């Protein structure tokens, strides 16, 4: 079967400090859960409970307000003991309700009741997805109900793309989820396709996991919607929407397959849709890769939303030595963590802790004009030039093509001087100082 890949740039990213995706481990329940009121791309959810109130597992505790906002639910039963606020290392402010676990669980340990959805209308499905606060289970966390087009809004057909492209080893939690909850991912795809009015489903799977693609396609035969498999390359950043759409349009041309508009969602998101519609359950937990050179026993954990990072690392044996860098996500595009009391949220797919020898840190040096950054840029930019321009007073010239950078971090990964190239370029494009 032909493999489709984007035409230029990119890197082959490997990391031995990533946990195995063969299985996951259920994390211990947190005694104190920190439930942020922003776990999505939009504004803060309005709290519907106050300090001292008792909450149930799965209960609505924050109501989304406006575009990009989503409902927030309690992930454990208990009592709200306080409300806290903090500012992250990059200046982002959030606040949260702290719940002390007590009382009986309504979902955990109980036999799951299933609800038929095939007879529901697209509007009803979208309403359920919105009510249960389902968002993209990765940054930026856009609400799925916002991504689903309004009927009649599109002039052409719509294809749902299930993005199982593992170009970054730190996506191992999504891979483990696909292995363990494959049928939920596929049924969630069928539900989302009906809610969106999609005419077909395409499983985009990196070629190293073609066995997974075959299993997804076989499971999809149960549903009436047409489904097909597209094998992609695994060169990073193949899963970025721009690069993924490039290969899908090439597939469309080569195979004479009219895809129309594309709705691209990941497996964790589609499993969450399945749980909301078929099980009447909000996002209570998620698969998270916990690893890095400072972690004694890297694992894929299935942890409750609101679990603090200190508890995740403790469950993995703690640190072998004091880490130099702790961050959410991948070392290529991670968000630095300065407080281990920060909690797991819906978009947390990985967290890592690195020793100084693997982090680079503040060891950046002057540019040596090697050109490595130009050779790996998938957009065809000159990161060296844009970085140098960003260091000059912006009043002397515009940002040029800097706005085309989507922050994949390839240039930073190969830079021998360890310059913060893509970070500086994105700030340059946005006009930040």
Range of the domain at 389: 372-430
Model pTM score: 0.94
pLDDT tens profile 94-106: 999 999 999 999 8
Distance CA 189, CA 212 (A): 15
pLDDT tens profile 266-281: 999 999 999 999 999 9
**Residue 194 within a domain:** yes
**Side-chain half-sphere of 96: how many Cα atoms within 13 Å?**
24
**Residue 198 within a domain:** yes
**Residue 45 within a domain:** no
Say if residue 155 is in the same domain as residue 275. Answer: yes
Which of 231, 262, 279 is where one domain is finished?
279
pLDDT tens profile 141-197: 999 999 998 776 777 899 999 999 999 999 999 999 999 999 999 999 999 999 999
**Residue 8 within a domain:** yes
Which of 279, 296, 319 is where one domain is finished?
279
**Residue 317 within a domain:** no
Which of 261, 279, 297 is where one domain is finished?
279
**DSSP codes of every residue in 338-378:** S-TTPBP-TT--EEEEE-HHHH-TT---------HHHHH-T
pLDDT tens profile 143-155: 999 999 877 677 7
pLDDT of residue 397: 52
Per DSSP, which regions of 131-253 are E strands?
158-164, 200-206, 227-232
Q: Domain total for the chain?
A: 2
**Residue 29 within a domain:** no
Q: Select the more confidently predicted residue: 51 or 361.
A: 51
Could you tell me the CATH number of the domain that includes residue 216?
Answer: 3.40.50.11540
**Residue 401 within a domain:** yes
pLDDT tens profile 228-252: 999 999 999 999 999 999 999 999 9
Residue 65 main-chain phi, psi, to 5 deg: -130, 110
């Amino acid at each position: 079967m032909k493999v489709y890949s984007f035409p230029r740039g990119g890197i082959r990213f490997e990391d031995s400090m990533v946990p195995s995706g063969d299985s996951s481990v259920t994390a211990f329940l947190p005694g104190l859960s920190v439930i942020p009121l922003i776990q999505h791309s939009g504004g803060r959810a309005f709290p519907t409970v106050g300090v001292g109130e008792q909450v149930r597992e799965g209960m609505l505790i924050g109501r989304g307000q406006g575009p990009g906002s989503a409902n927030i639910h309690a992930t454990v039963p208990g009592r709200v003991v306080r409300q806290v606020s903090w500012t992250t290392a990059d200046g982002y402010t959030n606040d949260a309700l702290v719940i002390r676990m007590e009382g009986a669980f309504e979902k955990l340990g109980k036999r799951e009741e299933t609800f038929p959805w095939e007879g529901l209308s697209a509007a009803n499905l979208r309403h359920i997805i919105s009510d249960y606060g389902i968002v993209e289970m990765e940054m930026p966390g856009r609400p799925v109900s916002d991504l689903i087009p309004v009927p009649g809004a599109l002039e052409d057909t719509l294809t749902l793309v299930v993005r199982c492209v593992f170009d970054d080893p730190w996506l191992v939690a999504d891979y483990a989820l696909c292995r363990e909850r494959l049928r939920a991912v596929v049924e969630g795809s069928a539900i989302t396709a009906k809610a969106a009015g999609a005419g077909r489903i395409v499983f985009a799977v990196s070629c190293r996991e073609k066995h997974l693609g075959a299993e997804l396609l076989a499971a999809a035969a149960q549903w009436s919607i047409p489904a097909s498999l597209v094998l992609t390359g695994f060169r990073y950043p193949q899963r970025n929407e721009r690069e993924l759409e490039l290969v899908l349009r090439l597939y469309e041309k080569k195979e004479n397959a009219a895809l129309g508009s594309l709705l691209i969602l990941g497996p964790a998101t589609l499993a969450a849709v399945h749980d909301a519609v078929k099980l009447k359950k909000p996002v209570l937990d998620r698969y998270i890769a916990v690893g890095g050179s400072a972690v004694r026993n890297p694992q894929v954990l299935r942890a409750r939303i609101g679990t603090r990072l200190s508890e995740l690392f403790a469950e993995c044996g703690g640190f072998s030595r004091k880490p130099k860098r702790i961050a959410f996500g991948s070392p290529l595009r991670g968000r630095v963590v300065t407080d281990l009391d920060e909690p797991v949220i819906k978009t947390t797919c990985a967290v890592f802790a690195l020793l100084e020898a693997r982090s680079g840190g503040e060891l950046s040096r002057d540019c040596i004009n090697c050109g490595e950054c130009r050779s790996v840029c998938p957009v065809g930019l000159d990161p060296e030039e844009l970085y140098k321009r960003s260091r000059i007073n912006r009043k002397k010239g515009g940002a040029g093509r800097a706005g085309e950078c989507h922050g994949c971090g390839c240039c930073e990964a190969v830079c021998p001087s360890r310059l913060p190239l893509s970070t500086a370029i994105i700030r340059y494009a946005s006009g930040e100082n």
